[in-house]
Amino acid sequence: MLLDNIALFMQIVEKGSLAAAGREVGLSSTTVSERLAALAAHFGVSLLNRTTRAMSLTDEGRMLVEDARGDSSDMTSPQKMAAIACALCAATGGLNFFCKKLRRSTA
């Protein structure tokens, strides 16, 4: 589900709105919003700044987009997912021994 939520987040960014992303993938706006919230909760960060009129990426959201687009490697690879998780962990000041070990083992 994590990979699906990251892919959905990328659709939100590409389309510019939750509703447009939902239409693209066949999900309701409510479901898209719930999955975005689940992704943010998983990483413990806010990914988007949303108002009634606009949406923008937070620094952590921008980092996730950059990491997800960063290279042509398979998004489903454990190494790619570990790198994204560790980048977000580091950005929020939560870098710990586990993330350091993951980075060394996937380098």
pLDDT 10s digits, 51-89 = 888 899 998 888 888 877 765 455 556 666 666 666 666
The model carries a pTM of 0.69
Residue-range definition of the domain harbouring residue 86: 2-106
Round the average pLDDT of the chain to a whole number and report it. 78
| The length of the chain, given as a count of residues | 107
Work out how many domains the chain is built from and give that number: 1
The 3 state secondary structure assigned to 17-46 is CHHHHHHHHCCCHHHHHHHHHHHHHHHCCC
Which CATH number do you get for residue 29? 1.10.10.10
